[in-house]
Amino acid sequence: MNISNRFRMKELYDYYENNMDRCPFMQVVEGGSDATVMIQGQEKIMIGSNNYLGLTSNPQVKEAAIKAVEKYGTGCTGSRLLNGNLDLHEQLEHELAEFLGKEAVIVFSTGFFSNSGTISTIVASDDVLICDRDNHASIVQGCLMSRAPMKRYHHNDMEGLENFLASSDSKKERFIITDGVFSMFGDICNLPEIHRLAKKYGASVIVDDAHSIGVLGENGRGTEEYYGLENSVDVLTGTFSKSFACVGGFAASSKDVIRFLKATCPSFIFTASLPPASVATVLESLRIMKTEKGRIKNLHKIADKVRSELNSMGYNTGGSQTPIIPILVGNRDKTIAAWEYLFDRGIFCNVSISPAVPVGSDLLRTSYIATHTDSQIDRVLEVFRGLKKDVLFDI
């Protein structure tokens, strides 16, 4: 059976096959991923990573992973429910719940599972889901799996959110679901207004803090801490693939909700548990996050400088408020040409084009790391000045 015509992005696959060295997708990283990476035998300054606190190459984190392998081996050989529940998993859930100020935490094997599994398990088909249009694909997947009717308000449109709440059946359970930090444009949800509307209409709130933990708030506790609204969210989800320098995910909530998820969530019950080295990595990253608060301050110092300089050059950085700083281009070919310009000059960033973003919203997605040096950032800004002059002069 020929399924190639069903690919929504078939032309990109063709482009990739024919231009392996010049395509922004599936570039091979030769070694560790830090403030710089090796690609095609050349060092590139990495401004396309979610390694916000720069912990993927931290000696303490690597040592913790090595010690875990030496003690526990390389895998758990089963699900948490059966034979794969280590004391490390229990310790991580305890320390993470304490850090977030929640009663309990459940750890998933991927961040995608933390959203798709949690939402599809706690939301029933006769409930009502109200979501931000820019929510991550894992949230959308969880909503679809729940089979509950889903309303999607325009991005951060609180009037639209209230209209959906006011017109929905008050006898049904209603869930407002949003990202804390939106992964493409780097802006933050309006949690104070979401919280107010949830109380007014008796709705529950689920927030995905994948790009918020380790980034927002004085202690890196995420969106609630950033707004001073601790315990305003009913269920908090997140991932370990950003600030925690690893892979996996979690949901944090009341003891009753977490107990229910552990007993009934398919993506927790029917998948192998997170390997020992991964759990130890996350635990050590969490402990560093709690003690080395200067990393968060430096991260925002870098991001604020880059955002200010890019805006002064005439770039459209959207509504970025975080280390995720998009550069809106609006044209696919020009976006890829801009990526090539940066790549040829030793800078690696990400490209987001339709259908990953709406048609006409094609962009370069840049993101910054607490361990970027002043000289690296100066070089990045120097290349962006040239890009504006040579390629993107008319945007």
* Catalytic residue, candidates 138, 146, 183, 278: 183
- Based on the residue annotation, tell me whether 155 is a catalytic residue of this protein: no
In a domain, 19, yes or no: yes
pLDDT recorded at residue 9: 57
- Based on the residue annotation, tell me whether 242 is a catalytic residue of this protein: yes
Amino acid (1-letter code) at residue 392: L
In a domain, 64, yes or no: no
The answer to whether the CB of 296 falls within 8 A of the CB of 214 is: yes
Q: Which residue has the higher pLDDT, 12 or 73?
A: 73
**pLDDT (tens digit, 9 = 90+) per residue, 91-107?**
999 999 999 999 999 99
**pLDDT (tens digit, 9 = 90+) per residue, 294-315?**
999 999 999 999 999 999 999 9
276 preceded by cis ω (within 30°)? no
Please report where in the chains the tokens 């089979």 appear, as a residue: 147
The domain total for the chain is 2
CATH number for the domain harbouring residue 383? 3.90.1150.10
The answer to whether the CB of 218 falls within 8 A of the CB of 297 is: no
- Based on the residue annotation, tell me whether 151 is a catalytic residue of this protein: no
3-state DSSP helix/strand/coil % of the chain, to nearest 5? 45, 15, 40
Sheet arrangement for strand 347-348? 36-39, 42-46, 347-348
pLDDT recorded at residue 357: 83
Residues 314 and 348 in one domain: yes
Domain end (from 291, 324, 354):
291
In a domain, 379, yes or no: yes
* Catalytic residue, candidates 211, 212, 267, 320: 211
**Cβ of 18: how many Cβ atoms within 10 Å?**
9
pLDDT recorded at residue 25: 85
224: left (phi over 0), alpha (psi -120 to 50) or beta: alpha
Looking at every residue in the chain, the average pLDDT score rounds to: 94
Q: Which residues span the domain enclosing 154? A: 73-291
Residues 314 and 286 in one domain: no
Domain end (from 291, 325, 347):
291
* Catalytic residue, candidates 89, 242, 372, 388: 242
CATH number for the domain harbouring residue 86? 3.40.640.10
Residues 129 and 214 in one domain: yes
Q: Is the pLDDT of residue 24 over 90?
A: no
Domain end (from 271, 291, 311):
291
In a domain, 368, yes or no: yes
CA distances from 160 to 139, 165, 170, 189 (A): 19, 9, 17, 14
User: Which tokens hold the place of 369?
Assistant: 């790391």
**Cβ of 75: how many Cβ atoms within 10 Å?**
15
**pLDDT (tens digit, 9 = 90+) per residue, 49-64?**
999 999 999 999 999 9
User: Which tokens hold the place of 117?
Assistant: 């599994």
